[in-house]
Structure 1
Amino acid sequence: MKLGPDLPEAIRMAQPAHPLDFVLLSTEQTFLRAGETLAQSVRHLKDLRVDFGRLEAALGPAQTERFLSLTAETGTQASCLAGEFVQFEEASRGLRTAVAAMRAEVTDLMATIRAISIVKLQARIIGNMLTGSRQRVEAFTGGLTRMAAEAADLVAEVDEAMNEIAAETAAMDDEAAHLSQTLRELVLPNLTAIGAAAAEVSLDRQRMAEGHEALAQRMEAIFGSVSHLILALQAGDSARQRFEHVRHLTSDALAAAADETGLEAVLLDLGVAQTAATVRGLTVHLGAAQETFLEVQGSASAAIGLASGLYLGDASRGSGAIQTMVGRAQTVETGLARCGAHLHRLAGHAARVAAHLEKIRHHEGRMRRIEDQVRLFGLNAVIVCAKLGQEGRALQEISRQLRDLTQVSAEVFTRLHGRLERTQERAAAIGSEAVAGLEREMGRVSDRAQSIRVLLEEAEAAHAAAGHAFGKAGRILTSSLETAAGLMGNYRRNLASLQAFEEQLLRRRAAASGPLDPTPAAEGLLAAVRKSYTVPEEREIHDAILRAALPARTEEEAAPPPAEAGPGAGSEEDLADIFF
């Protein structure tokens, strides 16, 4: 079975190779767990403090006045929005009417082109029956055939464009129906209800704002006590580092001393003195920390009890109207967002309708040229008939039909031109005026509804956060503070194991005798040990023991070498004293 990556390390830590390893592990784990517990407590305390500020900001007079101002005009806005939609519906109906009229003209035009095709066939049949002037008749019928084919192609393209326009307008009708349903079922009723419920919601906001000032003052006292806990944790981290220094003194440094009994004696003296000083200072801090934990626990319990009645009792039941209005404002926003999507698609359909209409306009010029050709072919038929004499009588009917078709097509083109212009105007009105006006009004309504929703949500969120935070704090704060205090008490009892370690050091010290030989190696080792210290008291103990071990040296010789002058001199040691 493959071991997890952290298991070997855990086994190594569980089987200490040095007597101080247990204390080091206990120090690290105790203060780490206590720190995590304290961090959790501080986080909840900070959250409560923030909630007070949010309540004051969300429920203050300025926000109340702003809320009343926002809700005062909702009825007018509902009327304006409904009016804009009526105008939009009128523009949509106008476009549908124009498209239907244009479709009728295109149908007439297609019928005219089909009639010209029939005349073309008749002319070809008559031409085939003639015995003289066949070349003239064939030229006439051939030109008429080409003209009819070109006209048929153009009309087919116009018909296709009209089919596309019909599909787009049908899609516009669907979008307009969904838009109407969304406005009439979601937006307008809820917008009207917001204005009607403004007074009730304002009263709830005032009720929610009462009573939190006393709690805020209590919280300030709790925060003052928490700072002492943080200092206690700093003292614990400092003690851990000091124990690590003692471990280095009594393991690596002793091993480096080899058989120099004088140097070993000094290192053992340092180990005993540093251990005693560390335990002495740590005991004081632990006692203060336990008292502070209990103090914070009592203050927090009192504040939580008061807050539970304020936020989880009668006051919490006053937010029903606010929640209802928040829901209505959100429904208005959601409905307007859907309407905006419908309008966006409507504008797209209108733009495509305009593009198809422009394509038809482009074909209009070519179809008018065909109309001129039809008229010209009618004149040619008269000339051909005159030259054919008796045989040309059959073509006279063709000539008359072409003149009639020319008259009909001219009327159709005139009407189609007018219908096309009117349809383009109404398509442009849909895309630019009706949709844009409705979008502007919807934007104003959406901004106001969003402002109302945000303002109420801030108040509701602040109220809910306070109630939720204090509901959890009654369990979490008390439990976490008791846990941290218990950890400190257990750790304080664990320090008793250091007595055996100190006795072991003293026995080894009794076996080590002889003066300290200040060789370069010894001085380098002691200097390296001193440099590793992070607390001024450690250096003071070190210097005192070193002076006692070298009584013959002067004070200047025994003092540590001064740091080099410069802008950064002493900064490393000072920072180590602070950030330990």
Structure 2
Amino acid sequence: MSLISAITLTEAIAGIEDVSSRIEDVFARVGHELGRGHLIFQELNQGLAALSAELSGAEIEGAATALQEIAARLSELAQALPAETALLETIGKGTAEASGLLKPLFKHIQMITIIARSARIEAASLDGDREGFLAFTQEAYDLGKAVQGAIEGCARDQQRLSEAVATAFGRQKEFEGRYRNQLAAESSELGSAYSALRDQRGNSRHLADLASASTRKIAEAVGSAIISLQAGDSTRQRLEHVAHGLRLASGPVPSLAPEPVASEDGARTICQLQAAQLRDAQREFGGDIGQIVRALTAILHDAGSVVGHGRTLFGGENGGSSSFLAHIKQTLAHASTLIATCEGAGRSVDEALAIVEDTLTKFRQAIAGLAEATVDITLIGMNAGLKASHLGSRGSAFVVIANELKATADQVSLGAGRLRPVLDGIERSATELKQLRVQGDPTQLTQLEPQILQALREVEAGNERLGRLMSRLVDEGAEFERLMNSAQGLMSTLGEGSAALPAVAARLEAAVAQEPRPQAQDEAMLDELFARYTMERERDVHRQFLQTLGLTSVAAARRVEAVEAADDGIELF
């Protein structure tokens, strides 16, 4: 061998041994990190399962149901506001109409008392049965004064009613203008919160299924990667065999037992053979590394997907403890404030309704008394007129007064009749308004609030546990990702390093200037190399190389015969 050939062989052996040692180191580290990563993911999966269980509990179901109910109530309240305002307006108009009817009625009753006084004066001038006429007129006067007092009380009550209804209408209209849209918006927000809680439970179940499926996929990927790691040992052995062959080509190695020495053509043959083995080993190894990197990529993708779903499910970023629960509490706080405002605005309506009920009761009592009084006054006038007619011309003036008293009493009766349907209309509107108030009573909404708060408190009791779980998921997920990225980086770097092997093979081939013609002792050395092989792929490359030289390996032929003899033709099922 020439000096250049010796240097080439030495450099080739050094390069091969360097790659071989790196393969052993890298595959050992990758195997360790892959095993550690698999354990981490198992813990990660357990954490996700616990998180899923926390979020699919009965507490969230209870909170969701309560949120749905309060959202529906707020929506009903928002929809009822225009009707309540319209009814208050109708009551206000009815009150104004009643006020207008009370004024002429009051004048007619005043007229009765005036007529009764005039009749008393006229009765005093009569000669016959003066005392009887005076008693009639006094009774009419007393009845008129009593009715007048009742109507004056109605007028005062009507004024109080008008003021209360006007105040309630103004506040209700202002409240509707300011808060109706807010009520609808809060109802929508709470409805969305309800949907979010329901979705949360569905997502948690989905996450459990996803984690289970991902665990299986990752287990398969880990198994595939571990199997692929065996390629590192196979490649390392092949490189050791190549280095051994190159040492044989470089000359005898000092030892106690003398070894055969290759001829110059034999050395060139061995160099070409090892170049072929080197190229094939690198090609196979490159495919194995690609398979391992793809497996690691799949593991990273699946693990990252599970952790990402965990973050989404919890509602926090970067392991933060804030969650969708905080948003629900904020929405509920807004709704609570709005409910309190509803209660404040509703008090004036309830007060007005109470005054309406009280006033209507007094009005109806007054009208009933008025009806009885007008009947009595009419009878008094008729009786007085009949008696006065018996007096002839002396009682004619009293007859006129009695007829006027009866006519005025009839006007009072007509006025009372016109007032009744107005009061009936006010009562109907008040009844409808009261029903609306009962259906949309804010106090009912207030009673729901503790139920929701209790449910949220129960959920929040687990919030700290969820926060710890989330931190664990993020930390372990980051550690898992670091390990897998490290393994990927090691394999990629090793792949780049092994890419130098074809260049070593090219230098070996270039060192052989002409086609070698191995001698008999060289064939024995080739058989010895064949016998050292541990992989069938090495043997195939060896046979193919010898065929290009027109040679046949005795050791290779013996191995084929041994394999054929071992095949007894029995098929195993």
- Superposition TM-score, scaled by structure 2 size: 0.49
- Superposition TM-score, scaled by structure 1 size: 0.48
- Structure with higher Rg: it is 2
